[in-house]
Amino acid sequence: MAEHVAQLCRDHRIHVHARQSYGGWASKKRRVICVKPVKTQRTYIVALHEIGHILGAGRSGTRLEQEAAAWAFVCEVSVVPLSPATYGRMLQYLQSYLVRASRRKRMIIPPPAHWFWDVYRHILACSEAE
Ligand SMILES: [Zn+2]
């Protein structure tokens, strides 16, 4: 997993800043991600997610679209089968953006037929898998 992240960053000239705490951020402009060193599925998916913000589709959408697209990128490119618990964590992240969106008027919640919900349902189903 760590090697996969290192490889993606080398191939796409993305600089990695290491941080001590969980969470992360990406700067598309500077092609930098700041994440915890990859050692577990949790740190792996966060690193892929931040890379997804730089490389993935849907980068120019709303905040919620960008977040969902970056998680869809994780599902697409992961080189290991992700555990239901890991999908559960992705679901928590998606839900936290929805909660934030519902509190802020300038964040738009996608309509029912939007692909955001396809990503959401996919991650939900995987989190419930045996
Ligand atoms: Zn994100």
Task: Compute, in angstroms, the gap from residue 37 CA to the centroid of ligand 1.
Answer: 17
Residue 63 in tokens: 């905040």
Q: Is the pLDDT of residue 101 over 90?
A: no
Q: Domains in the chain, ordered, with CATH?
A: 2-128 (3.30.2010)
Q: Angle 41-55/2-11 helices, nearest 10 degrees?
A: 20
pLDDT of residue 59: 64
Provide the 10 A C-beta neighbour count for residue 16. Answer: 20
Verdict on whether the full-model pTM lies above 0.75: yes
**What average pLDDT does the chain have?**
93
Task: Compute, in angstroms, the gap from residue 53 CA to the centroid of ligand 1.
Answer: 7
pLDDT of residue 40: 97
pLDDT of residue 58: 65
For the segment 9-16, the average pLDDT, to the nearest whole number, is 98
Task: Compute, in angstroms, the gap from residue 128 CA to the centroid of ligand 1.
Answer: 22
For the segment 40-68, the average pLDDT, to the nearest whole number, is 90
Share of the chain above pLDDT 70, in %: 97
- Burial per residue of 39-62, b for 16 or more beta-carbon CB atoms within 10 angstroms, e otherwise: eebebbbbbbbbbbbbbbebeebb
Task: Compute, in angstroms, the gap from residue 129 CA to the centroid of ligand 1.
Answer: 24
Share of the chain above pLDDT 90, in %: 81
Task: Compute, in angstroms, the gap from residue 33 CA to the centroid of ligand 1.
Answer: 11
| Interatomic CA distance for residues 6 and 109, integer angstroms | 34
